[in-house]
Each structure stands twice: as structure tokens, then as C-alpha cells.
């Protein structure tokens, strides 16, 4: 770690958000490169181990080393004095305590960049994200292409018959959709059919 990096003159919270496959993690990695400090610490919730437990990896293969955490409080405990930049990926999976932790480190004049889904599969605010977005100093909203009509997509369509709040997955389980083509109701209906014994279990039962 390079302790000669210039300290930020002011704390700042930047948020990169959007639906799945909108390039959030890629943007987080790019932003870290732009800021150019080697004195960073990166974190991600342990729940997200789709690609790597100790790296933040974008869908296109970019990566940075990170510390997986089970709870938001762990981040607060792990910040080192020489750190200048705090990066958090998939912040929507963290508990509500992250909101106060972000405020705390911004007040201490750290530069923080987080990325996360603004909306869940039902199109509702995801975990702590609505509050994080509201208190952000800068928001970068990304869009994917709707899988149906190719227009800008802001929603994440779940493709499997599972109505759990959280189902960590990739292209087999989700695709980007515009508001017009986002249909969480179809998922709920399919999940109901599965639970009533009318279909095969879980991921094999695809939703149209």
C-alpha cells in the first residue's frame, strides 16, 4: 500500500447503480482505476460468490482483490488508517447498518465508491439502496439492453419459478428488461404452481 497518496480534501460517497448486466461492477473497477490510488480497500458481501470469494469480478472479466464480509459492521472494523478509497460491490446485500457506516467514513473524509442493484426482482427498492442513493454525493445510473425489445433496461427479470427475496444468480436466472417488459407477476404465478406440485422444482422451471 502506498501511503504517499494525497488525502482527499473532502469525504464523498459515489454510487454506481442499475439493473443486472448494466455494467456496474465493470464501472466500479474502472472508477477505482481512474481515482488512481493504490491505498484502497475493497469489500463485498459473502453472499455473492458467483465468481470469486476474494476478488470483485465483472461479467467481462475485470477484477480487484477484495475482502468478503458477512455484515456491514465488519467493514467499519477493517478500515485501515492509511486507506484513502473504500470500494464496496453488491452493497444491496448488506444490512441497514451500512448506511451509518458510510456516513461515518465520509465524515472522516474518505472517498467511497459503492455499486449495487437499486431495484430487486419485483422492482422494489433493494435493501439499504434507496437510502444509500438518497445520501450519495454522486450517482451513476447504468442501463442494460432489454432482452425483449433492446431499449434501455432498468429492471431485472427473474427467469425461474422462485419467489424468494434473494436468489443469487447469473444469466440462467435473470435478464435485463425495460419497465414495459418487466413482469414479476409471472414469476410469482410460476412459483405458486411449483409449490402446489404443478411443475418441476426450482431453476428448471423457467418463466416466460
Q: How far is the CB of 169 from Zn ion (least distance, A)?
A: 20
* Eight-class DSSP state of 120: -
From residue 106, give the alpha-carbon distance in Å to each of 79, 103, 142, 177: 12, 5, 23, 34
How many amino acids of this chain bind Zn ion (CB under 5 A)? 5
The secondary element (H helix, E strand) that includes residue 42 is strand 40-45
Residue 181 or 188 with smaller CB distance to Zn ion: 181
Q: How far is the CB of 153 from Zn ion (least distance, A)?
A: 7
Cβ pair 85, 111 in contact under 8 A = yes
Residue 63 or 181 with smaller CB distance to Zn ion: 181
Residue 148 or 189 with smaller CB distance to Zn ion: 148
Q: For residue 33, indicate whether it is catalytic.
A: no
Residues 98-157 that bind Zn ion (CB under 5 A): 146, 148-149
Cβ pair 85, 113 in contact under 8 A = yes
Residue 89 or 175 with smaller CB distance to Zn ion: 175
Residues 171-200 that bind Zn ion (CB under 5 A): 178, 181
Q: How far is the CB of 145 from Zn ion (least distance, A)?
A: 9
Cα–Cα distance, 193 to 146 (Å, whole number): 27
Residue from 74, 90, 96, 175 carrying the catalytic annotation? 90
Cα–Cα distance, 15 to 52 (Å, whole number): 22
User: 190: which residues sit within 8 A by CB, 6+ positions away?
Assistant: 160, 161, 199, 205, 207
Residue nearest to Zn ion (CB): 146
Q: Which residues are catalytic?
A: 90
* Site residues for Zn ion per CB under 5 A: 146, 148-149, 178, 181
Amino acid at each position: 500500500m502506498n501511503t504517499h497518496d494525497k488525502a482527499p480534501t473532502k469525504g464523498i460517497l459515489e454510487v454506481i447503480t442499475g439493473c443486472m448486466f448494466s455494467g456496474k461492477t465493470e464501472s466500479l473497477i474502472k472508477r477505482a482505476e481512474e481515482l488512481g490510488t493504490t491505498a484502497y480497500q475493497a469489500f463485498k458481501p459473502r453472499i455473492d460468490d458467483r465468481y470469486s470469494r476474494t476478488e470483485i469480478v465483472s461479467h467481462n472479466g475485470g477484477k480487484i482483490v477484495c475482502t468478503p464480509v458477512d455484515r456491514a459492521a465488519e467493514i467499519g472494523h477493517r478500515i485501515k488508517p492509511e486507506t484513502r478509497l473504500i470500494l464496496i460491490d453488491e452493497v444491496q446485500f448488506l444490512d441497514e447498518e451500512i448506511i451509518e457506516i458510510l456516513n461515518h467514513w465520509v465524515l472522516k473524509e474518505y472517498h467511497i465508491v459503492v455499486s449495487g442493484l437499486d431495484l430487486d426482482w419485483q422492482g422494489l427498492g433493494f435493501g439499504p439502496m434507496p437510502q444509500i442513493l438518497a445520501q450519495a454525493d454522486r450517482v451513476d445510473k447504468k442501463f442494460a439492453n432489454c432482452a425483449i425489445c433492446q431499449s434501455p433496461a432498468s429492471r431485472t427479470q427473474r427467469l425461474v419459478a422462485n419467489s424468494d427475496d434473494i436468489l443469487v444468480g447469473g444469466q440462467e436466472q435473470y435478464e435485463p428488461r425495460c419497465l414495459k417488459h418487466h413482469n414479476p407477476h409471472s414469476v410469482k404465478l410460476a412459483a405458486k404452481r411449483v409449490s402446489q406440485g404443478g411443475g418441476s422444482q426450482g431453476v428448471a422451471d423457467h418463466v416466460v
